[in-house]
Amino acid sequence: MGKNIVEKILGNHLVEGSLDKGEEISIKIDQTLTQDATGTMSYLAFETLNIPKVKTETSVSYIDHNTLQTGFENADDHVFLQTVAEKYGIYCSKAGNGICHKLHVERFAIPGKTLLGADSHTPTSGAVGSIAIGAGGLDVALAMAGEAFSLTVPKVINVQLEGTLKPGVSAKDVSLYLLSKVGVKGGVNKIMEYSGEGIKGFSIPERGTMTNMGAEMGLTTSVFPSDEITKEYMKAQGREEEWVELKADEDAKYDEVIRVNLNELQPLLAKPHMPDLVDKVENYKDKKIDQVFIGSCTNASYVDIARAAKILKGKKVHRNVSLCVAPGSKQVFEMIIRDGILNDLVSAGARILESACGPCVGIGQAPKSGAVSLRTSNRNFLGRSGTKDAGIYLVSPETAAASAVKGYFDTAEDLEILNNVKETEDYILDDSMIIKPSSEDVEVVKGPNIGEMPIKEELQNEMNCEVVIKTEDNITTDDIMPAGAKILPLRSNIPKISEYVFSVIDEGFVERAKKAGKSVIVGGENYGQGSSREHAAIAPMYLGIQAVVAKSFARIHKKNLINFGIIPLTFERKEDYDNIKQGDFLKIKNLKEQIMNDQVEAEFEENKVSLKLELSEKDRLVLKEGGKLNFIRNKNR
What distance in Å separates the CA atoms of residue 286 and residue 282, rounded to the nearest whole number? 9
345 and 260 in a single domain? The answer is no
10 and 49 in a single domain? The answer is yes
pTM, 2 dp: 0.93
Pick from 225, 240, 264: which residue ends a domain?
A: 264
Asked if the structure places residue 452 within a domain, the reply is: no
284 and 242 in a single domain? The answer is no
221 and 316 in a single domain? The answer is no
Asked if the structure places residue 321 within a domain, the reply is: yes
257 and 298 in a single domain? The answer is no
Give, in degrees to the nearest 5, the angle at Cα 159 between 108 and 130.
Answer: 15
Asked if the structure places residue 431 within a domain, the reply is: no
Domain of residue 602 covers: 463-625
Asked if the structure places residue 58 within a domain, the reply is: yes
Average pLDDT over residues 614-619: 91
541 and 401 in a single domain? The answer is no
Per-position DSSP letters for 245-309, written without gaps between them:
-B---TT---SEEEEEEGGG---EEE-TT-TT-EEEGGGGTT-B--EEEE-TTTS-SHHHHHHHH
Read off the pLDDT of residues 545-592 as tens digits, 9 standing for 90 and up: 999 999 999 999 999 999 999 999 999 988 899 999 999 999 999 999
Read off the pLDDT of residues 294-315 as tens digits, 9 standing for 90 and up: 999 999 999 999 999 999 999 9
Number of domains composing the chain: 3
Read off the pLDDT of residues 22-48 as tens digits, 9 standing for 90 and up: 899 999 999 999 999 889 999 999 998
Query: What is the CATH number for 316?
Result: 3.30.499.10
Query: What is the CATH number for 562?
Result: 3.20.19.10
Question: Coil, strand or helix: which one is 395?
Answer: coil
362 and 223 in a single domain? The answer is no
Give, in degrees to the nearest 5, the angle at Cα 379 between 376 and 385.
Answer: 85
Cβ contact 584:605 at 8 Å: yes
Average pLDDT over residues 82-104: 97
What distance in Å separates the CA atoms of residue 552 and residue 528, rounded to the nearest whole number? 9
Asked if the structure places residue 440 within a domain, the reply is: no
246 and 294 in a single domain? The answer is no
Read off the pLDDT of residues 145-171 as tens digits, 9 standing for 90 and up: 999 999 999 999 999 999 999 989 999
Beta-bridged to residue 261, according to DSSP, are: 162
Computed from CA positions of residues 82, 85, 86, 90, in that sequence, does the dihedral angle turn out positive or negative?
A: negative
What distance in Å separates the CA atoms of residue 273 and residue 379, rounded to the nearest whole number? 8
Given this model, what pLDDT does residue 414 score?
60
Pick from 390, 405, 420: which residue ends a domain?
A: 420
Read off the pLDDT of residues 578-591 as tens digits, 9 standing for 90 and up: 999 999 999 999 99
Pick from 420, 452, 487: which residue ends a domain?
A: 420
Q: Which among 390, 357, 349, 391 is positioned nearest to 103, based on CA atoms?
A: 357
616 and 526 in a single domain? The answer is yes
Read off the pLDDT of residues 383-420 as tens digits, 9 standing for 90 and up: 899 899 999 999 999 999 999 999 999 998 667 677 78
**637 burial via Cβ count (<10 Å: 0-12, 13-18, 19+):** exposed
Given this model, what pLDDT does residue 490 score?
86
Given this model, what pLDDT does residue 413 score?
67
Asked if the structure places residue 40 within a domain, the reply is: yes
285 and 397 in a single domain? The answer is yes
Asked if the structure places residue 78 within a domain, the reply is: yes
| Among 265-269, 289-293, 486-490, 613-617, the least confident range | 486-490
Given this model, what pLDDT does residue 19 score?
94
253 and 288 in a single domain? The answer is no
193 and 317 in a single domain? The answer is no
Asked if the structure places residue 221 within a domain, the reply is: yes
